[in-house]
């Protein structure tokens, strides 16, 4: 039983690290398309500042930082 435990734990650790790496760094060159309604809802209802990258036809136009400060 002890001989099987280490390889199983090692395999689990390797798989979890690979999945974490893929989630954090995988496919970073492509962003997913989002509708305007979702973006506006996220901007106006977010409790913190929003940092947004603006692009058109795959070309980066710049960045926007939107922060709502209550009176």
Domain boundaries, the chain: 2-25+33-66
User: What pTM value is reported for the model?
Assistant: 0.40
Higher pLDDT, 43 or 36: 36
pLDDT digits 0-9 by tens, 17-41: 999 988 887 766 666 778 899 888 8
Query: CA triplet 5, 6, 11: central angle to 5 degrees?
Result: 100
Please give the share of the chain, as a percent, with pLDDT higher than 70. 93
pLDDT higher than threshold 90 for residue 15? yes
């Amino acid at each position: 039983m002890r001989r099987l435990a280490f390889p199983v734990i090692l395999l689990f650790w390797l798989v979890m690290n690979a999945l974490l790496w893929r989630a954090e760094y995988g496919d970073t060159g492509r962003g997913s398309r989002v509708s305007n309604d979702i973006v506006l809802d996220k901007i106006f209802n977010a409790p913190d500042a929003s940092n947004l990258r603006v692009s058109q036809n795959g070309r980066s136009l710049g960045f926007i930082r939107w922060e709502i400060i209550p009176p």
